[in-house]
C-alpha cells in the first residue's frame, strides 16, 4: 500500500472515530494535506463523517476547488481547510467541528478554554477567538468562501507567532491553538491521527462531567 493510499485510509478512519466520539456531527469534517502535492489536500465529499468510505475522499486545491471533475456535493465550509493549508505550510491536518462542548467558549467573555491536566497542554494558555461578524457582518455563520476562510486563518497565524509559555510552545510541527467562533472549532495538527486525538481531548477539557448509570 502506497503512502497516498495509507493516508486516505487514515483519513477515513479519522472521520469514523471523530463521529463515534461525537466530536463531529453530520457537518463536521477532517482533512489532510496531499503527501505528494502540498498545494492540494484530501477531504471527504459532503457526507456525514460516520458514513465516509475510501471512495468518498476527494482532492481539492488551496482555493477549495476539486482538481478533477467532481459531480458530487462538497462541504460548504471546505474553504476553512483550504485557507489554513495555504496560510500555514507547516500544517498537515485540519479538523473542523461543531462540538457543543466547546461552543460556549467562543461566545462567553468571562471564561476561556484552558487545559486542566497535562494531556491538554497542547491547547496552550490562550485559545484565539474568531468572530465572522467582525469583518463580514450578518451572515448565516457558515464560512462559505475564501475571503472569510482567509480571515479565519489569520487568527491561527497570529496564535502561532505568539508563544504562550516555554512549557507550551506553539511548535509548527505539532498541534497549534484552535480557532473558536460561534459556529464551531477548527484545529490544526501535524497528522490526521494527532488531529483525532487532540480534537477528542479538547472536548474533554470543555465538557461537563459525564455520569454513567450502572
11, three cell numbers:
483519513
**Do the beta carbons of residue 145 and residue 165 sit within 8 Å?**
no
Which residue do the cell numbers 486542566 mark? 116
- Taking 3-state DSSP, the helix, strand and coil percentages for the chain, each rounded to the nearest 5, stand at 35, 15, 45
- Of 178, 147, 199, 212, nearest to 22 by C-alpha is 199
55 is catalytic: no
Write down the catalytic residue from 77, 100, 126, 138. 77
Phi and psi angles of residue 116, each rounded to the nearest 5 degrees, phi first: -120, -15
- Of 192, 151, 193, nearest to 33 by C-alpha is 192
> What are the b/e assignments for 138-167, b being 16+ CB within 10 Å?
eeeebbbebebbbbbbebbeebbeeebeee
Which residues carry out catalysis?
77
Amino acid at each position: 500500500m502506497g503512502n497516498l493510499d495509507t493516508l486516505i485510509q487514515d483519513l477515513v478512519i479519522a472521520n469514523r472515530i471523530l463521529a463515534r466520539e461525537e466530536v463531529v456531527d453530520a457537518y463536521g469534517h477532517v482533512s489532510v494535506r496531499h503527501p505528494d502535492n502540498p498545494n492540494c489536500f484530501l477531504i471527504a465529499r459532503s457526507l456525514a463523517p460516520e458514513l465516509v468510505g475510501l471512495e468518498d475522499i476527494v482532492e481539492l486545491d488551496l482555493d477549495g476547488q476539486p482538481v478533477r471533475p467532481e459531480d458530487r456535493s462538497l462541504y460548504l465550509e471546505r474553504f476553512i481547510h483550504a485557507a489554513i493549508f495555504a496560510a500555514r505550510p507547516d500544517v498537515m491536518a485540519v479538523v473542523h467541528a461543531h462540538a457543543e462542548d466547546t461552543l460556549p467558549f467562543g461566545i462567553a467573555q468571562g471564561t476561556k478554554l484552558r487545559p486542566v491536566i497535562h494531556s491538554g497542554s497542547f491547547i496552550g494558555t490562550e485559545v484565539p477567538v474568531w468572530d465572522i461578524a467582525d469583518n463580514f457582518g450578518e451572515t448565516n455563520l457558515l464560512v462559505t468562501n475564501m475571503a472569510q476562510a482567509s480571515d479565519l486563518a489569520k487568527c491561527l497565524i497570529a496564535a502561532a507567532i505568539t508563544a504562550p509559555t516555554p512549557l507550551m510552545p506553539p511548535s509548527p510541527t505539532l498541534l497549534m491553538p484552535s480557532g473558536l467562533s460561534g459556529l464551531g472549532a477548527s484545529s490544526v495538527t501535524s497528522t490526521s491521527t494527532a488531529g483525532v486525538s487532540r480534537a477528542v481531548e479538547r472536548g474533554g477539557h470543555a465538557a461537563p462531567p459525564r455520569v454513567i448509570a450502572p
